[in-house]
Amino acid sequence: MKKITVTMLVMLLTIAMLSACASKGNDGKGGESPSKGSTNAGAEKIYIPIISKGFQHQFWQAVKAGAEKAAKEFNVEITFEGPETESQVDKQIEMLQAALDKKPSALGFAALDSQASIPLLQKAKDAGIPVIAFDSGVDSDIPLATASTDNLAAAALAADKMAELIGGEGEIGMIVHDQTSVTGASRRDGFKKQIEDKYPNIKIVDIQYGGGDHLKSTDLAKAIIQAHPNVKGFFGANEGSAIGVINAVTELKKEGKIVVVGFDSGKQQIDAIKSGKMAGAITQNPVGIGYETVKAAVQAIRGEKVESVIDTGFYWYDKSNIDSDEIKAVIYE
């Protein structure tokens, strides 16, 4: 009897999970499996693996969507994969190794650690495989092109907007995703430098790192607000950090009293901007990053000239322009 109950429960769970997958059209990550078309359609189809810095965050999903768009347009086959967190340098190297073993026509790569990946990239270069860097780029001359956002400039724009919104003076706090990654460090530095250089009456009271974890960022932001009750503004340097700040402000019932500036998009940030909880945010162009990476790779394979720096741009968006076509094209839910 006990066994039957156990078996029944296990089966129920399995069914519930399977139907949950099915109802969502099963768009889960297909690790290594090609995400475009079937492998046998045209044996000589160009294959471009894309090794990203992650895949779980909405940002990477948008990059993937852009890459897939380009793959369809240029009729090439791509795979898109990345490690679970942005600290798993070793896992990313393994993925890079595996991708090269498949003898691809070109390679798209966003390095977690430039130095660690150079030996493998050198191998790719020696084998005549063009490498296109994206997002944070690679510190070497091996990649033919880099498609990325200028994070320093983007964060500086966030600082300008913040200064404008709080009237050029007062205390502000910052939640950043981490201090070791290129995007975390350059957004922090870009924002901080701009405030220090241009707005002497604004004081950054604290910078804390929440790992992009929504819950941790919430508690961090709450503690900063507790410690500095006069904080007038708050900058969250990526999606998780920005949502954490929004949650903290909401939980402390300080909506409208603290100006929140975010980064990237996602449904919760979009909603917060529409409802006025968030003043505005900087968005990169993740779809553009993915698209340009694959496009540059195809051009390189065809022997065409490729721009060495592809600036995919960034935008400030707030309540006033969130519904404009220009912004709609670059934010994602």
Q: What x-and-dash track marks residues 232-251 binding another protein by CB under 8 A? A: -----------x---x---x
Contact 80, 102 (CB under 8 A): no
| From 15, 98, 227, 309, residue interacting with another protein (rule: CB under 8 A) | 227
Which of 119, 229, 256, 303 touches another protein (CB under 8 A)? 229
- 218 is a contact residue toward another protein (CB under 8 A): yes
Total site size for another protein, rule CB under 8 A:
47
Count of other CB atoms within 10 angstroms of residue 170: 18
Please give the Cα distance from 264 to 214 (Å, whole number).
Answer: 14
Report whether 50 contacts 293 (CB < 8 A).
yes
**Interaction of residue 158 with another protein, rule CB under 8 A:** no
Cβ distance to another protein smaller for residue 54 or 130: 54
Site pattern 41..70 for another protein (x: CB under 8 A): --------------xxxx--x---------
Taking CA atoms, 75 is separated from 46, 187, 303, in Å, by: 8, 36, 17
Among 118, 204, 214, 322, binds another protein (CB under 8 A): 214
Q: Which residue has the tokens 């007038």?
A: 232
Task: Show the CA angle centred on residue 248, arms to residues 242 and 249, nearest 5°.
Answer: 90
Rank residues 36 and 295 by Cβ distance to another protein and give the closer one: 36
When binding is defined by CB under 8 A, the residue of 39, 42, 73, 84 that contacts another protein is 84
Q: How many residues does the chain have?
A: 333
Which residue blocks in 30-150 are alpha helix, DSSP H? 58-74, 89-101, 114-126
Among 160, 189, 219, 311, binds another protein (CB under 8 A): 219
Please pick, from the candidates 36, 161, 177, 222, the single residue that binds another protein as defined by CB under 8 A.
222
Q: Do the bridges between strand 259-263 and strand 231-236 make them parallel or antiparallel, or are there none, so unpaired? A: parallel
Torsion sign across C-alpha atoms 43, 304, 68, 293: positive
Residues forming the site for another protein (CB under 8 A): 2, 6, 9-10, 13, 16-17, 20-21, 23-24, 26-29, 55-58, 61, 84-85, 179, 205-206, 208-209, 213-215, 218-220, 222-224, 226-229, 243, 247, 251-252, 266-268
